[in-house]
Amino acid sequence: MARYVGPKCKLARREGTDLFLKSGVKPLESKCKFTVPPGGIKGERRTRLSDYGLQLREKQKLRRMYGVLERQFGNYYEEAARRSGATGENLLRLLECRLDNVVYRMGFAATR
């Protein structure tokens, strides 16, 4: 199974929140060297995102929090849509049932 092995703080800065990709002990500010998103300029204002942009940011945030690549995330979405009930809740339930996430939630691992 493939996984992202690049810089973790860059992903957290892009999303603007702590994704708990590094140890959950220290706050995000002490982990990351920079505060602006990657590719951004320090004094520059951010433009307002469209509805599509907001949906995309939330999807990317979920993908990065759970360490799932695009194709695997799509497969989880199809499975969640196939099941009865709310698709969003089913998707989160499927992601939470992953073994790496269960180990993280039980406290046996510092990160996912």
Residue 111 lies in a domain: no
Number of CB atoms found within 10 A of residue 63's CB: 19
What are the pLDDT digits (tens) for 56-90? 999 999 998 888 999 999 999 999 999 999 999 99
Q: How confident is the model at residue 97 (pLDDT cuts 50, 70, 90)?
A: very high
The yes-or-no verdict on residue 102 having pLDDT over 70 is yes
Q: Are 10 and 56 in contact (CB under 8 A)?
A: no
Residue 79 lies in a domain: yes
Residue 1 lies in a domain: no
Long-range contacts of residues 105-112, Cβ cutoff 8 Å, at least 24 apart: 110/23, 110/24, 110/25, 111/20, 111/21, 111/22, 111/23, 111/24, 112/20, 112/21, 112/65, 112/66, 112/67
- Residue 82's domain spans which residues? 8-106
What amino acid occupies position 63?
R
Question: CATH code at 101?
Answer: 1.10.1050.10
Rounded to whole angstroms, how far apart are CA atoms 96 and 102?
7
Residue 2 lies in a domain: no
Rounded to whole angstroms, how far apart are CA atoms 60 and 11?
10
Q: Which residue has the tokens 């002490």?
A: 30
Q: How confident is the model at residue 25 (pLDDT cuts 50, 70, 90)?
A: low
Residue 112 lies in a domain: no
Q: Which of 11-15, 20-24, 60-64, 79-83 has the highest mean pLDDT?
A: 79-83
Q: Count the domains in the chain.
A: 1
Query: Model's pTM, two decimal places?
Result: 0.76
User: Closest Cα to residue 15, out of 42, 41, 40?
Assistant: 40
